[in-house]
Structure 1
Amino acid sequence: MHISELPDVRSARNPVGPCIEDDHEQLDNQEFLARVRNAAAVLRAHGIGAGDVVAIVLPNRLEFVVIMFAAWRLGAAVTPVNPGLTDAEARHQIEDSAAKAVITDDRARGVGTLDVTTVTAARPAAGGSAPDAVATAPDALALVIYTSGTTGRPKGVMLDHVNVAAMCRMIIDGIGLDETDHSLLILPLFHVNGIVVSVLSPLLAGGRATVSGRFRASTFFTVVERARPTYFSAVPAIYALLVALPDEVRPDTSSLRRVICGAAPMPAELIARFEKRFGVPVVEGYGLSEGTCASTLNPPGGRRKPGTVGLALPGQTVAVMDGEGNLLDDGAVGEVVVRGPNVMRGYLGLPDETARTVVDGWLHTGDVGRFDADGYLVLVDRIKDMIIRGGENIYPKEIENVLHTHPAVLEAAVVGAPDPVLGEVPVAHVVPLPGREITADELVEHCRGSLARIKVPVAVSVTDSLPRNPVGKIDKRRLRS
């Protein structure tokens, strides 16, 4: 089955079975198919066909999923646009992807000034007769996902249907999804994790999905108690916010079989705090958009090792490589590289950048890591985040891990600050647990007990919050500035 045929297959198997819902409505399988066919008719009436790109500028709502399948039904690809972008940022993505149409709501802003067709997302719309699904090649372009731009202008990651189908199968097998699973989507749909882990995978497994709107820690468990999902996928920042809820918040989490963490390493202390408080196992994984989402996972049915990001997903090869391209043995530290059917087709319009990132089939992640004795991947840090102090390499994550062991610390981020003599020195930014007081001197002394002198932060800033990018990762570029 081609993934574009999923609405038809689900409707044929169980027409009135639950499929997808959001904060406003819910659709069964036959209703979902009808909406997809209707949206495909609207897109076709606006000239969309095979090989085109459709930009979707929408918040989290089920129309996004409907339009995505409608575009695939016509053989077109989709580029999801963060609705929070500025006009200039959105313009870059729409123009760079050569989108032929933009699907948006009443917040279109400057989109109308572009040479594209703008279609307002609405439920019923007259678009002529509903078209049958186009026979789409497996290697046809499915998604163009734009990076968060932490190292420069956002780049378009080209993912074809082979990438997406392979990734979904790996997620289904790795997490153990089946027809009884119900995902709660809280991550943004402009990110591949939200699309693959929380929508496509449960639907392909025969389960269902609930698309939640803007995440709010104070109301999140009310949504969980109402929707009764079996899992959700989130980033460490969300788990930190949930752990920081007042002690009297004691929700019913009995429907959750497991929760998933990705996008950034989750401190072992935070995992322990969440599991102890809410009684739900945290399954941590690792991956990136260029690998269609995930490459490793702590096995839900096996040994989970907090502090690691787990084992390679079946169908992928994950290794560690030195600067000369040699694969390293377990225990050795080097760049994490990935190979498999999930590796992107390349960066849109950037052949040189693609050639530097995918070499001999290996996706170079830019992350430093090592494998422990059991084959679990331990992330050391990002190569670009490494601090060079007087010629010595310092990995901020090592310092952050020590800071997280302090009982009053909720979050920590360490960056390099310029120094006229040493080049760079480590500086820490720390968020305390609610109701806990902590001083910079106390944190520096805590670090001295576990770190070599050169790794101890020269300064610590205790703050209420840390800056984040649109996906929820700590924005270290802003901290450096």
Structure 2
Amino acid sequence: MLPNQVEFVVAMFAAWRLGAAITPINPALTATEAIHQMSDSGAKLLINVSGVAVIDHVQALPAAALNGEVQYGAKYAAQPADDAAALALLIYTSGTTGLPKGVMLDHANIEAMADMSRQAMQIASTDHCLLVLPLFHVNGIVASILTPLSAGSRVTIRTRFDIETFFADVEQLRPTYFSAVPTIYALLNALPEQVKPDASSLRYGICGAAPASAELLTSFESRYGFPLVEGYGLSEGTCASTINPFNGVRKAGTVGVPFQGQRIAIVDASGRRLAPGATGEVLVQGPNVMRGYVGKPEETKKTIVDGWLHTGDLGRIDADGYLSIVGRLKEMIIRGGENIYPKEIEDALTAAPGVLEAAVIGAPHETLGEIVIAYVAYRAGHAGTLAELNEHCAARLTRYKRPAAIHVIGSLPKNAVGKIDKLKLRTMWEQQST
């Protein structure tokens, strides 16, 4: 339960050397949330920053757990544990559908993912990764720590992303790449025009965790001079499954092609494979697919069927094999029998002048079943009218896809990983409509 610091990485490797597994806990969790993760995972030792009040958390551990400050002991003399099938990481999902579930990743999963990432991202010993994402998430651990270290390259750990110091860090540290979420890139792209950093050391930025608009990707590269390479993945797939190729066509608005060693497919509700261009659920197969959910065999059986991971994401594959994500299966809006994918509307709204980010949810409607509700946040110093936003949507979206209501707010709520929190938006809508 550590913030981003080198001791997190040391403790992780120490646990693996002993043959133990780790579960990273977000330090910002409430006692109730942290206790769920510790009790569900069966944790025996909590590692936390000295002086932080965690008595409620510690009390949730088994009676035999070590309590108090860890003391230096004799150097570990045994041979390092070496079992590819041993549990390595328990990553807890963000809990968008109930209590968070523990994703079991073994050493074979991690080794496969690190190897695929080194190849796809062309990581060499000369590279230098700047870590700004949280280490309690699989992206931070795999993409920004394990992948570069396994290539013999360097990592600089920052406590968190800070828009005030990010480019100063880039100019001073001269990293060759970093990984971030669309919200971070949108904030950087919205900086005043006079901000012109020296970003020449950066070969690329990895963009993942949530879909980004094609406009953001192209606008960012044009402004800062290095490309954003969009990929797609989830904790259940040990971080990543597709990426836009480095030596090939990068299609803005898509999340690229499968990593070497992985396969993807699109299926309908009955599990039937769909042809290129058709929209359905995204399935993933490969050595990166999780062992299952800890203590939840029934959930595991529903999620991994015949070796294929059912992601719950909606997408389509084009004729060239590039995947596009259009939303979550449970986020799809059905208005009067028509399927509406939130990302299409979100992309249209973020293309409006001055708009920083947008999110779309479905709201119940007596006759239509559901209607489209949109939330929009403008960049600092920018503003617009509802009439302008509605006119913008009318020029880009057919009538049934247009938002029935657009709410302009200061900023969109985010979860701990930086994704827009649509559960909070739904709560906001329910409170507004009652």
1:134 offset after TM fit, Å? 3.0
Question: What code does the residue aligned with 2:48 have?
Answer: T
What residue number does 1:217 align with? 163
Corresponding residue SS for 1:431: strand
CA distance in 2, matches of 1:163, 1:227: 31
Residue by residue, what CA displacement relative to the aligned partner does 1:79-133 show, whole Å, maximum 9, x if unpaired? 00000000000000001000111111132421232234356788xx422233334
**Conserved 8 A contact 2:4-2:159:** yes
Matches within 5 A, 1:366-405: 366-405=312-351
Quote the offset at 1:397 in angstroms. 1.0
Q: Kindly indicate whether residue 75 of structure 2 is the aligned counterpart of residue 75 of structure 1.
A: no
Residue in 2 that maps onto 1:84: 28
Aligned in 2, Cα 1:417/1:121: closer, same or farther, shift over 3 Å? Answer: farther
Aligned to 1:104: 48
- Per-residue deviation, 1:448: 1.0
Alignment of 1:370-449 (within 5 A): 370-449=316-395
Q: Rate the CA distance shift 1:133–1:251 in 2: closer, same or farther, 3 A.
A: farther
Give the structure 2 partner of residue 157 of structure 1: 103
Matched, 1:451 2:397: yes
Deviation of residue 232 (structure 1)? Answer: 0.4
Aligned 1:113-128 pairs, distance under 5 A: 113-116=59-62, 117=65, 125-128=71-74
Residue type of the alignment partner of 1:300? F
Distance across 2 between alignment mates of 1:476 and 1:189:
23
Q: Distance in 2 between matches of 1:162 and 1:306?
A: 32
Conserved? CA contact 1:218–1:245, under 8 Å: no
| CA-based RMSD | 1.4
Q: Which one of 171, 178, 182 corresponds to residue 117 of structure 2?
A: 171
**What's the CA shift for 1:305?**
0.6
Provide closer, same or farther for how the CA distance between residues 332 and 104 of structure 1 changes in structure 2, counting only shifts above 3 A: same
3-state SS of 2:164 partner? helix
**2:22 aligned counterpart, secondary structure:** strand
Q: Is the 8 A contact 1:87 1:111 kept in 2?
A: yes
Segment drifting more, 382-391 vs 283-292:
382-391
Looking at structure 2, the residues matched to 120 and 345 of structure 1 have their Cα atoms a distance apart, in angstroms, of 33
Decide which of 232, 253, 258 is 2:199's aligned counterpart: 253
Q: Which one of 297, 312, 321 corresponds to residue 243 of structure 2?
A: 297
2:209 aligned residue (247, 263, 270): 263
- Counterpart-to-counterpart distance in 2, 1:132 and 1:280: 46
The residue number in structure 2 matching 1:61 is 5
In 1, the alpha carbon distance for the partners of 2:20 and 2:111 equals 16
Letter in 2 for 1:346: G
- Matched residue of 1:79: which SS? coil
After TM superposition, list the pairs within 5 Å mapping 1:464-475 onto structure 2: 464-475=410-421
1:247 and 1:153, CA in 2 relative to 1: closer, same or farther beyond 3 A?
same
The aligned amino acid for 1:213 is T
**Alpha-carbon deviation of 1:214?**
2.0
**How far apart are the structure 2 equivalents of 1:257 and 1:438?**
36
Change (3 A) 1:120 1:330: farther
Deviation at 1:423, TM superposition (A): 2.3
List per-residue Cα deviations over 1:427-478 (Å, max 9, x = no partner).
1111123322211111111111121211110111112210001000000111
1:193 equivalent among 127, 134, 139: 139
Partner Cα distance (1:205, 1:129) in 2? 27
* Cα shift readout 1:292-325 (whole Å, capped 9, x = no counterpart): 0000000122111111000000000111111121
The reply to whether residue 361 of structure 1 matches residue 307 of structure 2 is: yes
Gap change, CA 1:119 and 1:309, over 3 Å in 2? farther
Shift, 1:407, TM fit: 2.7
TM-score (norm 1): 0.86
Counterpart contact for 2:2–2:25, Cα < 8 Å: yes
**Structure 1, 129-138 or 291-300: larger mean CA deviation:** 129-138
Q: Partners of 2:380 and 2:236 in 1: how far apart?
A: 36
Residue 252 of structure 1: CA displacement?
1.2
What is the rounded CA distance, in whole Å, between the counterparts of 1:328 and 1:131 in structure 2? 55
Partners in 2 of 1:215 and 1:104 — Cα distance? 21
Percent of aligned pairs sharing the same letter:
59
Q: Contact 2:262 / 2:287 at 8 angstroms: preserved in 1?
A: yes
The answer for the alignment partner of 1:461 in structure 2 is 407
Unaligned runs of 5+ in 1: 1-56
Normalized against structure 2, the TM-score is what?
0.95
> How far apart in 2 are the matches of 1:466 and 1:131?
51
Between the aligned partners of 1:119 and 1:258, the Cα distance in structure 2 is: 44
- 8 Å CA contact 1:103–1:119 kept in 2: the answer is no
**Pairs within 5 Å for 1:198-209:** 198-209=144-155
After superposition, what is the alpha-carbon deviation per residue over 1:375-402, rounded to whole angstroms, capped at 9, x for unaligned?
1001121111111222222111111111
2:431 counterpart residue number:
none
The residue that corresponds to 2:430 in the other structure is none
- SS of residue paired to 1:217: coil
| Structure 1 residue runs of 4 or more that deviate by more than 4 Å after TM superposition | 118-122
Q: Secondary structure at the match of 1:263?
A: coil
CA contact (8 A) 2:284 2:311 kept: yes
What residue number does 2:184 align with? Answer: 238
Say if 2:327 is the partner of 1:327: no
Give per-residue Cα distances to partners, 1:54-102, cap 9 Å, x unaligned.
Answer: xxx0000010000000000000001000000000000000010001111
**Aligned-partner Cα distance in 1 for 2:168–2:342:** 36
Other structure's SS at 1:402 match: helix
* Residues 119 and 241 (structure 1), Cα distance of their counterparts in 2 relative to 1, 3 Å cut: farther
Quick one: structure 1 residues 334 and 248, their matched pair in 2 at CA, closer, same or farther if it must change by over 3 Å?
Answer: same
* Structure 2 counterpart SS, 1:77: coil
1:227 is matched with which residue? 173
| Paired residues of 1:347 and 1:353 also in contact (CA < 8 A) | yes
Q: Structure 2: 5+ residue runs without aligned partners? A: 428-434
- Amino acid of the structure 2 residue aligned with 1:315: G
Contact 2:348 2:396 in 1 (8 A): yes
Farther off after superposition, 164-173 or 211-220: 211-220
Q: Partner letter of residue 296 of structure 2?
A: L
Q: CA deviation at 1:331?
A: 1.3
